[in-house]
Structure 1
Amino acid sequence: MDLRHTQVKVYRQASREISATAAENSTQQQDQPSTMGPNTKLPASDSPQLCLHQPTPEECIQIWSKTAAAWKDSLTVPLYILEAQYLTTVPLARNRGMTTWVLADASLPANHRPLLCSSESFRKRALASDAHGNVKECVVHGIASVFCPAEFRGRGYGSRHMRELAAALRRGWQGEGRGASVGCVLYSDIGKRYYARLGWRPHPRNAHFAFPPAQGGVAEETPARARAQVVAERDLGALCSRDEAMVHAAMATPCSATARRRVVVLPDLEHMLWHIRKADFATAYIFGKIPAAKGAAAGSAPGKQVWAIWTHRYYGHPDHVDEAVEGVGEAGGNVLYILRLVVEGDGTANRPREEGRLPPLPMTEKETEEYTERKEALEAVLRAAQSEAAEWRLDSVKLWEPSPLVERMIEESGIEGVEWVEREEESIASALWFEEGGEGEDGGGGGDGDDGEGVVWVNNEHYAWC
């Protein structure tokens, strides 16, 4: 409790001290003479003068000022700029884990050059495994916030930026001592075709379950042995460590149905805290407090437990629904995203779907008892998520790509109003792989379910989104 109060106090003080400065800087950027005069000739997208740079702090303010209209969500523009600065200091981003990139003319000086396109990349711990279960640590880069200002669109700068970025990441950017860079992933909000043309093939399963918030703010009762407990921030480290061990064990299991490589972004503590810090910032602004529950857990003992880690996402201020960006958040509205769902003993999890064979029916009496216990624990955790969504005025709970076993259990549960949604335009997970499945320097690798010669991307879940 003291930690959360301290965080809220810090955010409020930072907002007072920095928001005015950010707004002033933004105004100054707008008041400065433009480097694009009426006679300025933009370089062609294939010009050798174009290359990637890391922007200056002043140029970052310029980027955030321009992207605010699309991505500020529930925040004001000054607070969005403050949040962007803050999110460079949190887990996953800090210690050079995050890099901002701009495409610009190398002949022009910093702070006096048009920023033709910008993006961010995040270094993500990952595992790669072959058909025999030989596992190696590696790096997968997450690409985010790809933005081309309106005045520079239609000239090929976005495509040039992405090709240059893929080449830079392929060379092992920020991967020192962490294993090879095996690929990069992104989450397209403009459908599947644009990035597929550049080599990022969409994952074949971009889908999720959507649950309504609890009616009246209280979920239905579940059996006493499956009552969910709050997962606090102090619990996350131990849960993530247990989860990582299970992922590693699954990746070390030989594949019988495919000879392709498997790659998984690890569901580590840094990923969870990056999402949670973003949510903390928004809830501190909207409500003046931070959620105590970072997830929920149920089950009788280690080895038989179920837990979810979640984050709160406000695409619009809940008091000003008319100001929300239409359609943002996959289906509109504010969302409690389940970042990671773990069902201990789930033999269909952390592996390619064709490997995730469901337990045969009928089951033995002991198998039935264990299955029922896990199903009740899962239902308790999901109902806790519904209650959390209701308490924090969120419009839905979303669970990306559950395992085959979890899918079956949800379909058998008594939870009402559950929908299965296939995403076609927004949050389209797409990957370009660099090793053993790539097609040349700028070519794409494979995705799960392509031609059988690519890479299987395991666990397309929300924790890896950026």
Structure 2
Amino acid sequence: MTTWVLVDKTLPPNRRQIFCSCESFRKRCLVSYEWGKVEEGLVHGVASVFCPSKYRGRGYGTRHMNELAKVLHGWQSEYGKGIASVLYSGIGKEYYAKAGWLPSPKNGHFVFPCVEMEKSPLVKLVPESELEALCRRDEAMIRTAMAMPSTARKRMVILPDLDHMLWHIRKEDFAVNYIFGKKAEAKGAIAGNPGKQVWAVWVRRYYGHPDHPDEGGEDGGNVLYILRLVVEGDTTANRPHEGQLVPATNAYMEQAASLKAVLQTAQAEAAKWRLDQVKLWEPSPLVQSLLEQSDLGATQVERHEHSIASVLWFREDGDRKDEAPVWVNNEYYAWC
């Protein structure tokens, strides 16, 4: 994590007003070309852009983002090649686009109601101690998929590694302990036989105390977010979603049963921890098809104002490129 501030450099140290600030988070990524060549690199996630109220309306926010765009390409280059910067706009699609962070064409998710129920015998809860092994398996599958030729000229994926999961989970641990005085042990759920397993890693997000439901949240409620959903054998996963043909879902009957059991477990966990809903960002075409055929009560939503995934793509010479890459796996784990 790096903190950035906009100041007047002509003033002496310790007397400079902070006109605007933000944070960036270094993330590992893969870039794949249409013939299957894969490169590793860095993505800098930008978050918490803030301008004090007395300085708003003077262009400081725009200046701050323009200056930031100039330096991020080479930032922390000792860890790898700078590929892109991403942010999740909470003020629509236009503001950050002017500085080069272009909105993703789609920003969709599914919403599931909370339901009190017993855990399916098909499901095993995932403790924190087992997350690293699952993340490694997931990354191996992503690397294989990214090495396959694609119709997309260039694809980019932010790797769903353990660091991402724990960043979200540590926030959860603090909030859950503050509200309930204990820790939530289940960090996800897994079902199925090896080779056809389905698992989800999740996080509990409290925007307000459960006793005061009107306190906040973009939708007025607290959420169990599916950070990452993996379906082994899903040929539509880890690929651009546009124009894909969804395979016959009857070939995935075992995974369909496991998927339902895992998501029902998420619904039950949300109810147990007094959350209001479950959200799953941008599932694969196969998963979306299975959800549409299920009785889980899922509602599909397209975001237009909040959490708009936006990308600033870097060129080799360090200049910005207007064309956005095809972002694969735009799921909640990458949010910051």
Scaled to the shorter chain, the TM-score interval is: over 0.9
Q: Which residue of 1 aligns with 2:197?
A: 305
Task: Give, in whole Å, the separation in 1 of the partners of 2:322 and 2:161.
Answer: 25
Q: Which residue of 2 aligns with 1:334?
A: 222
SS at match of 1:235: helix
AA of the residue aligned to 1:251 = M
Question: Do structure 1's residue 433 and structure 2's residue 335 form an aligned pair?
Answer: no
| Residues 389-408 of structure 1: pairs in structure 2 closer than 5 A | 389-408=270-289
Task: Give, in whole Å, the separation in 1 of the partners of 2:207 and 2:107.
Answer: 20
Q: Deviations over 1:392-432 (max 9, x none)?
A: 0000000000000000011111212x211110000000001
Task: Give, in whole Å, the separation in 1 of the partners of 2:253 and 2:238.
Answer: 21
Task: Give the counterpart of 1:424 among 277, 284, 304.
Answer: 304
AA of the residue aligned to 2:313 = W
Q: Which residue of 2 aligns with 1:164?
A: 67
Q: Which residue of 1 aligns with 2:77?
A: 175
AA of the residue aligned to 2:277 = S
Task: Give the counterpart of 1:209 among 110, 134, 142.
Answer: 110
Deviation at 1:462, TM superposition (A): 0.3
1:175 to 1:355, Cα distance in 2 relative to 1, 3 A: farther
Q: Deviations over 1:367-387 (max 9, x none)?
A: x3x511100000000000000
SS at match of 1:114: coil
SS at match of 2:77: coil
Task: Give the counterpart of 2:291 among 410, 421, 424.
Answer: 410
AA of the residue aligned to 1:187 = Y
Unaligned 5+ segments in structure 2 are none
SS at match of 1:193: coil
Task: Give, in whole Å, the separation in 2 of the partners of 1:410 and 1:293.
Answer: 23
AA of the residue aligned to 1:173 = W
SS at match of 1:408: helix
In 2, are the aligned partners of 1:446 and 1:456 still within 8 Å (CA)? no
In 1, are the aligned partners of 2:315 and 2:321 still within 8 Å (CA)? no
Q: Deviations over 1:166-189 (max 9, x none)?
A: 11111x21231x321011000000
AA of the residue aligned to 2:72 = L
Task: Give, in whole Å, the separation in 1 of the partners of 2:175 and 2:101.
Answer: 31
Deviation at 1:444, TM superposition (A): 4.3
Deviation at 1:198, TM superposition (A): 1.4
In 2, are the aligned partners of 1:198 and 1:444 still within 8 Å (CA)? no
In 1, are the aligned partners of 2:213 and 2:220 still within 8 Å (CA)? no
In 2, are the aligned partners of 1:347 and 1:357 still within 8 Å (CA)? no
Q: Deviations over 1:37-89 (max 9, x none)?
A: xxxxxxxxxxxxxxxxxxxxxxxxxxxxxxxxxxxxxxxxxxxxxxxxxxxxx
Task: Give, in whole Å, the separation in 1 of the partners of 2:321 and 2:204.
Answer: 33
Deviation at 1:163, TM superposition (A): 1.1
Q: Which residue of 2 aligns with 1:66?
A: none
Q: Which residue of 2 aligns with 1:113?
A: 16
In 2, are the aligned partners of 1:210 and 1:396 still within 8 Å (CA)? yes
Q: Which residue of 1 aligns with 2:30?
A: 127
SS at match of 1:123: strand
Deviation at 1:320, TM superposition (A): 2.0
Deviation at 1:148, TM superposition (A): 0.6
Q: Which residue of 2 aligns with 1:270?
A: 163
Task: Give, in whole Å, the separation in 2 of the partners of 1:376 and 1:292.
Answer: 24
Q: Which residue of 2 aligns with 1:319?
A: 211
Q: Deviations over 1:268-300 (max 9, x none)?
A: 000000000011011111111111000001002
Q: Which residue of 2 aligns with 1:64?
A: none
AA of the residue aligned to 2:95 = Y
In 2, are the aligned partners of 1:116 and 1:149 still within 8 Å (CA)? yes
Task: Give, in whole Å, the separation in 1 of the partners of 2:321 and 2:86.
Answer: 11
Which protein has the bigger helix share? 1
Task: Give, in whole Å, the separation in 1 of the partners of 2:242 and 2:310.
Answer: 20
Which protein has the bigger strand share? 2
Q: Which residue of 2 aligns with 1:200?
A: 101
In 1, are the aligned partners of 2:69 and 2:99 still within 8 Å (CA)? no
Task: Give, in whole Å, the separation in 2 of the partners of 1:404 and 1:419.
Answer: 15
Q: Which has the larger radius of gyration?
A: 1
Question: Do structure 1's residue 379 and structure 2's residue 260 form an aligned pair?
Answer: yes
Q: Which residue of 2 aligns with 1:279?
A: 172
AA of the residue aligned to 2:335 = W
Aligned residues: 336
Deviation at 1:446, TM superposition (A): 2.5
Question: Do structure 1's residue 464 and structure 2's residue 334 form an aligned pair?
Answer: yes
Q: Deviations over 1:277-333 (max 9, x none)?
A: 011011111111111000001002x211000000010001111223x13xx33x220
Question: Do structure 1's residue 254 and structure 2's residue 136 form an aligned pair?
Answer: no
In 1, are the aligned partners of 2:86 and 2:101 still within 8 Å (CA)? yes
In 2, are the aligned partners of 1:200 and 1:444 still within 8 Å (CA)? no
Q: Which residue of 2 aligns with 1:296?
A: 189
Task: Give, in whole Å, the separation in 2 of the partners of 1:110 and 1:303.
Answer: 59
| Residues 131-142 of structure 1: pairs in structure 2 closer than 5 A | 131-142=34-45
In 2, are the aligned partners of 1:335 and 1:396 still within 8 Å (CA)? yes
Task: Give the counterpart of 1:218 among 112, 117, 135.
Answer: 117
Q: Which has the higher contact order (CA 8 A, sep 6+)?
A: 2
Task: Give, in whole Å, the separation in 2 of the partners of 1:110 and 1:211.
Answer: 51
1:110 to 1:213, Cα distance in 2 relative to 1, 3 A: farther
Q: Which residue of 2 aligns with 1:229?
A: 124
SS at match of 1:354: coil
